[in-house]
A and B are shown apart, each in its own frame.
Chain A
């Protein structure tokens, strides 16, 4: 598995911090396709990704990992499929400061179900400190209910170290 290591995909709902996470760890300025939001989405944030984010990182052993971020909105689900092709794993980011973060986690786990089954997934919960409506345990309980074993981390999406931990966890999972 690890020999073919090329591409990791970041996904999750609008405002989870996918673009920020990719930009936090990348070695080069990321390619992003952010545009101004309109309507209800504008209340959450100013800009949104409409095609993809792309960047890459070099691991300590010199290997290059390509990072792709998907748009969050369901209307862009055609990009989800395109971007996961030949991917080796998924990083799912969930914004805890949302009305139903556990439900959102489930939605993306279902949407990326076949990709996850072929590869693997790790979950990063962002904005945990801002909202305490769900704890790590709530996510884990839901995952147990779904019969899925997935590492869940509380992270700051803007922190390079935090995002790196997610990627290391994902690669460790895939190497087993």
Chain B
């Protein structure tokens, strides 16, 4: 781990963290976090971590999910949300929430480079999955910080 840290220290000057450099380690950790999340919260049917540029990083789903397509859509949604808020000068986006007949979708920032998408089943309430989403996004943000500092 120290070797990785040293490498990362050298390569991550400036704001945009280059996640690619330690992608394998991070991917594995992210997958474990998502696996745990789905285990803990019955209402969540799928969870996905992607880069803000729409690249899929890690995914856990009960059933099928086209992670690449979903990652791209999530980043587009959140980017539009960010810009809409910027347009009216009301601070930063916490989440984008979509309610539908077949379940809900939350998209939240997870640090500056990643975002978390959570899909719930149709009978799920909003509170519990959202609380999990907030906690896990914070966890991911800390994980990325740890990896680069």
Interface residues of A (CB under 8 A from B): 31-33, 35-39, 41-42, 46, 48, 50-52, 71, 73, 75-76, 78-79
Which A residues touch B52, using CB under 8 A?
35-36, 50
Check A71–B76 contact: CB distance below 8 A.
yes
Given contacts A31-B87, A33-B83, A39-B20, contact A50 B53 (CB under 8 A): yes
Check B55–A38 contact: CB distance below 8 A.
yes
Q: B76 is contacted by which of A31, A32, A36, A51 (Cβ under 8 Å)? A: A51
> Bound complex: CA of A50 vs CA of B107, how far in Å?
15
Interface of A is mostly: mixed
Cβ-closest chain A residue relative to B68: A75
Given contacts A51-B76, A75-B68, contact A37 B83 (CB under 8 A): no
**Total inter-chain residue pairs, C-beta < 8 Å:** 63
What are 24 pairs between A and B in contact, CB < 8 Å? A32-B83, A33-B76, A33-B80, A33-B83, A35-B53, A35-B75, A36-B53, A36-B113, A37-B53, A38-B20, A38-B53, A38-B55, A38-B113, A41-B53, A46-B16, A50-B54, A51-B76, A51-B77, A52-B80, A73-B54, A75-B55, A75-B72, A78-B69, A78-B72
Which B residues touch A73, using CB under 8 A?
54, 72
Which A residues touch B68, using CB under 8 A?
75
Which B residues touch A75, using CB under 8 A?
54-55, 68-69, 71-72
> Bound complex: CA of A36 vs CA of B75, how far in Å?
12
Check B113–A39 contact: CB distance below 8 A.
no
> Bound complex: CA of A51 vs CA of B87, how far in Å?
15
> Bound complex: CA of A76 vs CA of B77, how far in Å?
11
Give the distance to chain A from B30, nearest Cβ to Cβ, in Å: 14
Which B residues touch A79, using CB under 8 A?
76
> Bound complex: CA of A78 vs CA of B74, how far in Å?
12
Cβ-closest chain A residue relative to B79: A33
Given contacts A38-B53, A38-B113, contact A76 B72 (CB under 8 A): yes
Given contacts A42-B18, A51-B83, A78-B72, 9 further A-B contacts (CB under 8 A): A31-B83, A32-B83, A36-B113, A38-B19, A38-B20, A46-B16, A50-B75, A52-B80, A79-B76
